[in-house]
Amino acid sequence: MRHLPSLNGLRVFEVVTRHLNFRLAAEELGVTQGAVAQQIRGLEAELGLKLFERHPRTLALTEAGRGYVANIRRAFELISDATEMLRPEPQHLTISVTPTFASKWLIPRLPDFTATHPDIDLRILASDRISNFQTDAVDLAVRYGRPPFGPGLNADLLFEQVVVAVGSPLLIEKLGRPEEGMNLARYPLLHDAHDFWPQFLDRAFPQGISAPTKNIRFNQTSLAIEAAIAGQGLALTSQFFVEDDLAAERLVRLFATELRVGSDFYIVSPRKPRHAGSVAAVRAWLAFAAGQGTCATAPTR
């Protein structure tokens, strides 16, 4: 076998190429920043060429570095695949979702997923930030918006966004149905980051109505829902987020009005995922749990 560079140096090199920062790479590897820099210097000396351009606050791959890392990643993938075949372990998959989707829909259904797929170790990344499939090591995501979501991605419709108004039955009993008479003025409105209340009220009261003067604002829909359950006001939410709360009578639906805003919830994943079989299994389970059985494929480009 021809002489190979240090495998540890190659591993450090691959991590640094993802962060382009010695400090962040050191945090991922659990070593010091100086150790990372030393490994890179040693690898460059062994190869006899520069892999990175050093700048004051970041690094940049040289042309040689860009070509080298593509092959190194493929080599590590081959080693990883060979090891998994030799010593099968639960498949780790990371799914990116919003905090509200995680707390109000996904987490209550995880026991069913675990029972159905005990061989898949599902890791949930809950964030409003759109994760990058490559740099964040995300295998699939549930994203709110309109397709296409980007080149090289498959997007399947999971839920249509149907916005409804909800409130605590105890609060409704106390203040009266908000659809009737002037009762709406007695209710605080609970807003989230989407702020759909103006559109909703225009549709519910086409003849016009004075909006309540009491408003409470949250940055997460889940917080507005919890405030509504606690009797603090009326909330707007995607209907599927509160199906369990409506069934348990923690909330009641108000108004006949439904608001559709043109953006829906989709399962998104790369066309060529790292673990195709497991990703397909999670996609199928999400669709089944959503009550669809099969997903309607959205156009991609």
Confidence of residue 276 (pLDDT cuts 50, 70, 90): confident
**Pairing between strand 215-217 and 189-191?**
parallel
**Which CATH number describes the domain made up of 161-262?**
3.40.190.10
SS3 for 253? Answer: strand
What CA–CA distance (Å, rounded) separates 156 from 112?
21
**Mean predicted confidence (pLDDT) in 262-268:** 91
User: What does the pLDDT average to over 258-281?
Assistant: 89
Which CATH superfamily, name and number, covers 98-155+263-290?
A: Periplasmic binding protein-like II (3.40.190.10)
Q: Using CA atoms, how far apart are residues 185 and 244, in angstroms rounded to an integer?
A: 28
Question: pLDDT at residue 275 above 50?
Answer: yes
Q: Say yes or no to pLDDT of 217 above 60.
A: yes
What is the average pLDDT across 228-238? 95
Single pTM value for the model: 0.65
| pLDDT of res. 210 | 73
| Residue 296 pLDDT grade (very low, low, confident, very high; cuts 50, 70, 90) | very low
Mean predicted confidence (pLDDT) in 270-282: 88
Residue 299 has pLDDT above 50, yes or no: no
Report pLDDT for 301.
33
Give me the count of residues in the chain. 301
Question: Which comes out higher in pLDDT, residue 2 or 300?
Answer: 2
CB 134 within 8 A of CB 270: no
Average model confidence (pLDDT) for the chain?
88
Query: Residue 298 pLDDT > 60, yes or no?
Result: no
Q: What is the C-alpha to C-alpha distance for residues 236 and 133, in angstroms, rounded to an integer?
A: 31
In which element (H, E) is residue 296 found? strand 296-297
Give pLDDT tens digits for 22-74: 999 999 999 999 999 999 999 999 999 999 999 988 999 999 999 999 999 99
- For the domain covering 7-85, report its CATH number: 1.10.10.10
How do strand 252-259 and strand 163-167 relate by DSSP bridges?
Answer: antiparallel
Q: What percentage of the chain's residues is helix, strand, coil (to nearest 5)?
A: 45, 20, 35
pLDDT of 247 higher than 90: yes
CA–CA distance, 269 with 110 (Å, rounded to integer): 20
- Report the percentage of the chain scoring pLDDT > 70: 94
Task: Give the type of residue at 190.
Answer: L
pLDDT value at residue 261: 85
From residue 85, give the alpha-carbon distance in Å to each of 93, 186, 227.
Answer: 17, 64, 49
Whether 98-155+263-290 and 7-85 are alike in CATH topology: the answer is: no
pLDDT one-digit tens code per residue, 165-187: 999 999 999 999 998 878 898 99
| pLDDT score at 1 | 52
Name the amino acid, one letter, at 258: E
Instruction: Please report, for the chain, the start and end positions of each structural domain, with discontinuous segments joined by +.
Output: 7-85, 98-155+263-290, 161-262
pLDDT at position 86: 74
Nearest-angstrom CA–CA distance, 146 and 123: 25
Q: In 10 A of CB 280, how many CB atoms?
A: 13
Backbone angles phi and psi of 208, in degrees to 5: 95, 145
Closest of 138, 145, 151, 106 to residue 290, by C-alpha: 106
pLDDT, tens digit, 9 for 90 and up, residues 68-95: 999 999 999 998 888 777 765 567 889 9
pLDDT of residue 85: 74
Q: Are 169 and 252 in contact (CB under 8 A)?
A: yes
Structure confidence at residue 2 (pLDDT): 66
Contact in structure between 104 and 242 (CB atoms under 8 Å): yes
Task: Say how many C-beta atoms besides its own lie within 10 A of residue 7's C-beta.
Answer: 11
Using 50, 70 and 90 to split pLDDT, how confident is the model at 295?
A: very low
Q: Above 50 in pLDDT, residue 279?
A: yes
Cβ-contact 183, 223 below 8 angstroms: no
Phi, psi angle pair for 10, to nearest 5°: -65, -40
**pLDDT of amino acid 294:** 38
